Every structure is written in C-alpha cells, then in structure tokens.
Copies of this chain bind each other. A is one copy, B any other.
Amino acid sequence: MTAPVAPSASAVSDPLRLATIGAGRIGSHHAEIIARHIPGAALSAVVDPIAGAAERLAAELGVPHATTDPDEVLGRADIDGVLITAPARCHTDLVVAAAAAGKHIFVEKPMAVTPADADRAIGAADEAGVVLQVGFNRRFAPGFAAARAAIVEGRAGTPHLLRSLTRDPGPFTADPARIPRWTIFLETLIHDFDTVCWLNPGATPVSVHATADALIRPDAKATGHLDTAVVTIRFDNGAIATTEASFSASYGYDVRAEVFGSAGMVTAGDARSTDMTFYGADGIHVDTARRDTELLRAAYTAELTAFTAAIRHRTPAPVTGHDARRALAVALAAIRSVETARPVDLAEVTT
C-alpha cells in the first residue's frame, strides 16, 4: 500500500485550509489566531469530542464545519493541515491518523508520552511527507529567539550553566485529582527541557536529577499530584542546566531563560506586560501578564505563522518530532529520578 502523498506546493489551496482538533483553552486560542491573524490561512473546521464545544467555537469564529469526529475532517480532501490540541494522551494517535490522511500537522506538546509513540509519530509524518511541527512556543517569543541568535553567533561562548523556568499563574484553582501524576514533567517542564536543549546547540543531554513535591496543594500529594519541581540536566558538552516549574505564581505567568557561557550571559523573559510604569505612594509598580496567551501572544502567532510557511514553502518544521522526542526523554528521566531518588542517565529511558 502506498502512503498518501502530501499536497504539493502548487496544490496547496489558497488560502491554506486548516482544522483544529481540540477546542479547549489552547485549542480555541490557536483557532482564533488561525482564523483571524495568519494571512493566507483559513480555519475550515473545528473538532471536539465534547458535544457542542466545536459548534460554539466554530460559531464564534465563523467556521462552517464543526464536528465531534476527527475522521470527518481528516477525510476532507480540501483540508491542508490540522492543529492537534487534544489531551496529551491522544496526541500520537491523532498525529498518525493525520499523517496517514496526508495532512500537515501542528501538534501541541507533548507530541508523545513514550519513546515508542514518539517514534511512531515521527515515522508516520516522515512516511507521509507532511510537515510535523511541535508546539514549543518559547522558541518563537522574541526575547528567546534573540537569545538563541546571540548564542548561535557565539556571543556567549560555550554554554556552561543554563536555566529555564515555567511558572503558571496562580492562584491554583484546578482539581489536583484530575491532573495526571507526571503532568508537571510531561506537559509543563517539557517546554523547559526543549528550551535548554535548543539554547545549547549541538549538545546532547546525558543525565538528569529531579526533585518534586506538592507544595501548593500538600493535601493532594497522597493522590500523586506534584506541583513544584526542579530538574538538573547534564549535557555531553559539560553544561549543567537547571529547569524548574510551579503551578501557582501569584504574580502571573512567568517564563524565563538564562544561558551563562564562557564569553557571556544571555537572558530572556520578563514578567511585565507593558512598558508602562506607575510610581505612587507605595513605590514603583509594574503590571504583569496573567496568562500565557497574553505573555506569549506574539510567540503563539509566530509559531503558527511558521507552520503555515513551512507548509507553503515545503521547508522543514522549525520544531521537529525529534525535538519532541529529545525533550520527552528528559521528562522520562526526570520522572524516573523522582521515583528512584537518584540521578538517571538518559540511556536508561530511551532504549
């Protein structure tokens, strides 16, 4: 049997017709960007298994096609690509199905939660010849992109110490019982694992030590919930990276990186929301961004713009399945490190 052939450049309909699979918070955000803010792209369909969810989002964005069935969308010949923003556990199967249908794929992180699934997703996209891009949004934030550029230019020399952190805005209001045990590693820190790899070009992570706890909701620890974590990563070029995450930053959304190298240091990320500063009787005050969709608005738009450009120009995805697999390996090593209370070599979890 022959793999479906992805639409050739010339065959790409104009505008690009995309569908979103998953109409939750981030899915809705991506959908709105595609529908309204990416020139040359159109949102043609919305899929969500929850009855009514796709309809509501489609109505809001003026999208003609809403359904609970992904196959309905994957079967449409006029759809060029899909955004997969479903729950993490469904990502790989959806990637494989979309690739089999010849659709270009933007998949939210984590692309997969096992190395085998990561390989399956990568293989499916390769075989189908479709673009497969993973949602590591930091890479598209202007400050992070400038940091990477400075490092690639050699301005910081060889990286020795790296840091990346993610702190979700608080107060924490989720139900810990509904958060899968390893979410802080697989869904949150996975961003930071990618960031430190990406900011240490050419190096490979070799071992990991993780510490994690339930500090925001200590009562939830018994059921396996972890809300605070620090992961130290050793690279084959000697660099030592520290990544950390918390599910409740009182002051808003906070995403930062720091690379200290032999010739200099680069930092990126700033919690302030605008360049307005207020000076009052209590001192100096600066507003912060309270949501990722505010702090990383430009990054979300840029990553989807890059996705459509990769489709249109047949260029490689700027964030690949291999990048996702690498970050996953770090996450799995971190999880095993927590389980065993010792450092873990990546070789243990990837073979």
**Which residues of A come within 8 Å of B, CB atoms?**
35-37, 39-40, 142-147, 150, 155-158, 160-161, 167, 209, 211, 213, 215-216, 218, 228-230, 232, 234, 238-240, 242, 244, 246, 248-252, 254, 260, 262-288, 341-343
Contacts and interface: CB of A to CB of B under 8 A. Distances in A.
Number of copies: 4
Given A209-B211, A284-B272, A278 B250 contact: no
A277 B260 CA distance: 12
A34 to B, nearest CB: 10
Contacts of A251: 264-265, 279-281, 283-284
A228 to B, nearest CB: 5
A343 B209 contact: yes
Nearest to A263: B250
Nearest to A260: B246
Contact of A157 (B161, B238, B250): B250
Q: Which of A244, A264, A287 has the most chain B CB within a 10 Å cutoff?
A: A264
A280 B167 CA distance: 13
Contact of A39 (B37, B145, B146, B270): B37
Please name the 8 residue pairs, one residue from A and one from B, whose CB atoms are nearest each other, closest first. A36-B39, A143-B275, A146-B276, A251-B279, A270-B275, A264-B280, A284-B286, A265-B279
Given A146-B287, A343-B209, A343-B341, A264 B244 contact: no
